[in-house]
């Protein structure tokens, strides 16, 4: 199965570790473009909002990741605790879930759906919650 990993770029190390684990299970894994830039060109994620906006536009990060979602059979959302919210799913990742849902892709969440304003919409997308167990993807 081809799987595109989604989630906060704060967890880029975990994305790489998850890629390696999934590839060892025989999956093909697609990561965000910014990780590729980090690994090949020394890209550093900006801390400032204005700089993040500029980087997203200049590198076309959103559209590039949407293309990877379109290529994949499924997405895996790495939803770790962030901003004091257990299993956080931010704006970009929520957009990616919506696209995957629209395209009929399977949606996997590493952890349960967070208690956030748009939890109803996330539940309606019927993601498969893995409860931290990546081996459930092959089932």
Domain count, the chain: 1
- Rg of the chain on CA atoms, in Å: 14
Q: What is this structure's pTM? A: 0.93
What is the SS3 assignment for 56-88? HHHCCHHHHHHHHHHHCCEEEEECCCECCECCC
CA dist., res. 93 & res. 84, Å (int) = 17
Report whether 31 contacts 71 (CB < 8 A): no
Any idea what the CATH number is for the domain that residue 72 is in?
3.40.50
Average pLDDT, the chain: 94
Share of the chain above pLDDT 70, in %: 99
Q: How confident is the model at residue 94 (pLDDT cuts 50, 70, 90)?
A: very high
In whole angstroms, how far apart are CA 97 and each of 38, 71, 76?
24, 14, 9
Report pLDDT for 136: 93
Report pLDDT for 72: 98
**Domain span at residue 28?**
2-138
Report pLDDT for 139: 61
């Amino acid at each position: 199965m081809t799987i595109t990993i989604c989630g906060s770029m704060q967890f880029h190390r975990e994305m790489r570790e998850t890629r390696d684990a999934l590839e060892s299970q025989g999956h093909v894994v697609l990561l965000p473009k910014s990780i590729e830039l980090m690994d090949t060109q020394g890209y550093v994620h900006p801390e400032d909002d204005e700089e993040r906006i500029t980087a997203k536009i200049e590198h076309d990060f959103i559209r590039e990741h949407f293309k990877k979602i379109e290529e994949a059979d499924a997405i895996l959302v790495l939803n770790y605790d962030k901003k004091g919210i257990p299993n956080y799913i931010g704006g970009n990742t929520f957009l990616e879930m919506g696209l995957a849902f629209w395209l009929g892709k399977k949606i996997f969440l590493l952890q349960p759906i967070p208690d956030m304003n748009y939890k109803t919409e996330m539940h309606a997308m019927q993601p498969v919650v893995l409860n931290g167990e990546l081996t459930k993807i092959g089932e």
